Amino acid sequence: MPTPDIIVRFLTMIIPLLFAVTLHEVAHGYAAFRFGDYTAKKAGRLSLNPVRHLDPFGSVLLPALLVFTGSPILFGYAKPVPVNFHNLRNPQLGTFVVSIAGVTVNLLCAVISGIAYQAVMFVSNPAGTGPVLAIIAQLLLYFTLINVILAVFNLIPIPPLDGSKVLSVLLPPEARRSYEKIGPYGIIVLVVLLMSGALGILIRNIVGPITYFLLGR
């Protein structure tokens, strides 16, 4: 039976996560919309309502499993926003902008929430924050951390992550064709890196310093 402390921890982590993954996906859809692809708009996926983007496993079950098993970090994802890259005006630039949009928004959110967290801690009573400020501080802390995790993870240039599309656009045509052949095996590569611990080490060594800097710690 989950204790009240674990339930509170889950809520203060799941709320920032839902908004972070929602903003990530909406950014992809909006960028595609600006470049002429209306797929996400027609599917009603440009909404900031997290319910429209929920993935039953990635948005609820996976985060709950991590929290209730005592994981020090929280991770999750939303349903990918549908994008038809063939509809984009200026396909090369459009693909780059659409692919990098989610990461860009996550980094921007991390910076803003990090500054807000520092402001809350600055105005707090030195003897300790009140319950309301303490909850706000926790929400901002997790929102900063989760956005940094999403940005760093999605920049890894392994399909189907955003970083793979960004790298593909930047490569010369011949190298791009060779690189895109690993697409079907991307998930396998990610699983191997995750199981070996290499992915966790890579993310921690980047996420930790960035998050501490943004939180002013």
Q: In 3D, which of 111, 165, 163 has the Cα closest to residue 140?
A: 111
> Is residue 174 annotated as a catalytic residue, yes or no?
no
Structure tokens at 113: 């929430």
Please tell me which residue in 9, 13, 25, 138 is annotated as part of the active site: 25
DSSP 138-165: HHHHHHHHHHHHHHHHHTSSSTTSHHHH
Of the candidates 159, 163, 156, the residue with the CA atom closest to the CA atom of residue 180: 159
Q: What angle do CA 25, 31, 33 make, to 5 degrees?
A: 105
**What is the crossing angle of helices 198-214 and 91-123, to 10°?**
60
Residue 44 — φ and ψ, nearest 5°?
Answer: 70, 25
Torsion of Cα atoms, 112 then 114 then 116 then 119, to 10° = -140
> 52 vs 42, 78, 143, 170, CA distance in Å?
13, 9, 20, 32
Cα four-point dihedral sign 210, 213, 215, 217: positive
The residues that are catalytic are 25
